[in-house]
Amino acid sequence: MKKTIFTGAGVAIITPMNADGSANWEKLKELIDFQIGAGTDAIIVCGTTGESAALTHEEHVQAIETAVRHAAGRVPVIAGTGSNDTRYALELSLEAQKLGVDGLLMVTPYYNKTSQAGLIAHYEYVADRVKTPIILYNVPSRTGVNIKPETYQALAKHPNIAAAKEANGDLAALAQTLYLCGDDLDIYSGNDDQIVPILSLGGKGVISVLSNVAPAVCHQICVNYREGRVKESAALQLQYIGLIQALFADVNPIPVKEAMNLMGMNVGPCRLPLVSMAEQAREALSGVLKEFHLI
């Protein structure tokens, strides 16, 4: 059995920006403190929600360094280091490893894509050359590539591939993955509306967008389930479905950043090509936040 990187609710933390579009590292530190203070179990930096695709290499490294240094061992820090260029994925993973991260979140290659055999070759190439455990990241709606259960099974045999963030929404395929992999692969939900279903199949927790605005809620969903209060966990999941849906009413992370700004957290805009929500959509989001007593 491999060591579990974290159990519970990890936040896919946004990258805050200044008004001029530059990264706001001091605000990132504030957000990390807010998350840890609310019970978040891990910080995941430079993921999709962190706008990793719009960060320069230098910013990517600085975001990781800021998160590791400021978290200072209070919770695990996982860095997004995936790329559609295997060599660059390795380069970024080695830099993150040097900075002291607890895990590497590696999205499947996008745009150029690859076959299932190519996925195995891509991940094993990096896994053979790093010591930090890898979390596979399956989000076919963005990448156009889906990791099949049999591919997970092959990758789970590698001692340095520890887990997967599953965001393809296919619970039947996930059940097959868990059956094939057993204790060789931990699973984290990549969808906030499937936390409890994935926990019920044996998942370890969630890598969450919702946690940016409601960290204590996400943490409690996982705690309730882990401590045997399944009905309470499910009830909390269902109670927040409306907020989860509102946070995905536009391309992530547009709505969650807008929500945080409406909450007075001053995290700034998204970078182009992502643009602000239309006024009508912003008003609808504001109404949901009021309904959940967040503003």
No. of helices (H) and no. of strands (E), the chain: 13, 8
Tell me the C-alpha distance between 34 and 185, whole Å.
Answer: 30
**Residue from 27, 123, 137, 225 carrying the catalytic annotation:** 137
**Residue from 27, 123, 165, 188 carrying the catalytic annotation:** 165
In the block, which residue shows the tokens 């159990």?
7
Task: Identify the DSSP state of 152.
Answer: H
Tell me the C-alpha distance between 24 and 185, whole Å.
Answer: 35
Contact between 130 and 158 under an 8 Å Cβ cutoff? The reply is: no
Tell me the C-alpha distance between 232 and 246, whole Å.
Answer: 22
Token duo for residue 110: 């996008």
110 has catalytic annotation: no
Q: What angle do CA 217, 220, 224 make, to 5 degrees?
A: 145
| SS3 assignment, position 87 | helix
Token duo for residue 92: 């970024």
165 has catalytic annotation: yes
Task: Identify the DSSP state of 23.
Answer: B
Catalytic residue set: 137, 165
